[in-house]
Amino acid sequence: MMRALYSGITGLKSHQTRMDVIGNNISNVNTAGFKASRVVFQDIYSQTLSPASAPGTATGGTNPQQVGLGSSIASIDLLTTSSASQYTGAPLDLAIEGSGYFVLSDNGQLVYTRTGNFGTDKNDHLVSSSGAYVQGYMGSTLPPTSALGQITIDPKYSDVAIDSTGAITGIDTTTTTGDKVTIGYIALATFSNEGGLEKAGQNTYRSTNNSGAAVYNTPSTGVAGKLNPGTLEMSNVDLATEFTDMIVTQRGFQANSRIITTTDSMLEELVNLKRA
């Protein structure tokens, strides 16, 4: 009975964690570029009451007798599935169709995001909504001849636009011919294991030992996806799935709490037997 009591406790903890993840998913249903997470359970080590035995000359074999000791969290997976894009019409809004993450420099540290609502600061640097510098390549020459760094959009350029390949173009107003020139390129980072990325807040991720090193390239090059200008990627949270999981999680929590109350009633009966 004591094993059942502690199994119920582990079940409560596991389902509470799952509810925390579901709640976070639902709260970010309208967060641009947000990727949902899921919780996977696993059983805890089982106590062997009787090991398996091999068949003999006169008897058959027996299977092991084991009692499980509850459940635990096997993993909290990041679901990197793609989602639809919402049209905004803003020339510096970008969504990624396919693999890849925008590269940001936040206080000197590189972080990665799928949220592309960009703008410029007073120094004409291309920045995210949190003020992190968007990383890319300046000039009309593609890497590796140019280095990854900040992108500056000089005020002398008008009608600035970004195409699906990440090329930033504008019309040079200092010339009489009004030439359209390439200012630079947006960079994307890809990883061998996107699920290994670590959420760092403000819609950003950090690379980890299990995500693999970031590979930088321009959109539509290699495995990097293309850009969809004038749009923002929507959250991949499916409310129907989340609400269904919420109901299942709530029932699981209730069932595990019933294990505790039922085991407590059985212990109470033992105490009453002693008193009798």
Residue 193, SS3?
coil
d(CA 153, CA 184): 9
Q: Amino acid letter at 183?
A: I
Model confidence at 80, in pLDDT bands (50, 70, 90)? very high
Q: Which residues pair with 77 in a beta bridge?
A: 38
Q: Which residues pair with 167 in a beta bridge?
A: 185
Relative to beta strand 149-150, strand 133-138 is antiparallel
193 and 263 part of one domain: no
Q: What pLDDT does 141 receive?
A: 75
Mean pLDDT over the full length of the chain:
92
Q: Is residue 60 part of a domain?
A: no
184 and 219 part of one domain: yes
Residue 91 has, within 13 A of its CA and on its CB side, a CA count of: 12
Which of these ranges, 130-144, 146-160, 262-276, has the smallest mean pLDDT? Answer: 262-276
d(CA 93, CA 117): 5
Write the burial class of residue 80 (CB in 10 Å: 0-12 exposed, 13-18 middle, 19+ buried).
middle
258 and 203 part of one domain: no
22 and 151 part of one domain: no
pLDDT in tens, 97-124: 999 999 999 998 999 999 999 999 999 9
218 and 271 part of one domain: no
100 and 226 part of one domain: yes
112 and 136 part of one domain: yes
Q: Is residue 50 part of a domain?
A: no
188 and 134 part of one domain: yes
pLDDT mean over 266-270: 85
Write the burial class of residue 224 (CB in 10 Å: 0-12 exposed, 13-18 middle, 19+ buried).
buried
Residue 34, SS3?
coil
Domain of residue 29 covers 2-45+68-80+237-275
147 and 211 part of one domain: yes
Q: Is residue 93 part of a domain?
A: yes
pLDDT in tens, 156-198: 999 999 999 999 999 988 887 778 899 999 999 999 999 999 9
Residue 239, SS3?
helix
121 and 94 part of one domain: yes
Q: How many domains does the chain have?
A: 2
Q: Is residue 51 part of a domain?
A: no
With 0.85 as the threshold, say if the pTM is over it.
yes
Q: What pLDDT does 51 receive?
A: 93
Cβ 229 vs Cβ 94: under 8 Å = yes
- For residue 275, is pLDDT > 80? no
d(CA 272, CA 276): 6
Model confidence at 3, in pLDDT bands (50, 70, 90)? confident
150 and 131 part of one domain: yes
d(CA 5, CA 199): 35
| Beta-carbon count within 10 A of 28 CB | 18
Q: What pLDDT does 264 receive?
A: 87
Q: Is residue 270 part of a domain?
A: yes
Model confidence at 272, in pLDDT bands (50, 70, 90)? confident
Model confidence at 273, in pLDDT bands (50, 70, 90)? confident
111 and 227 part of one domain: yes
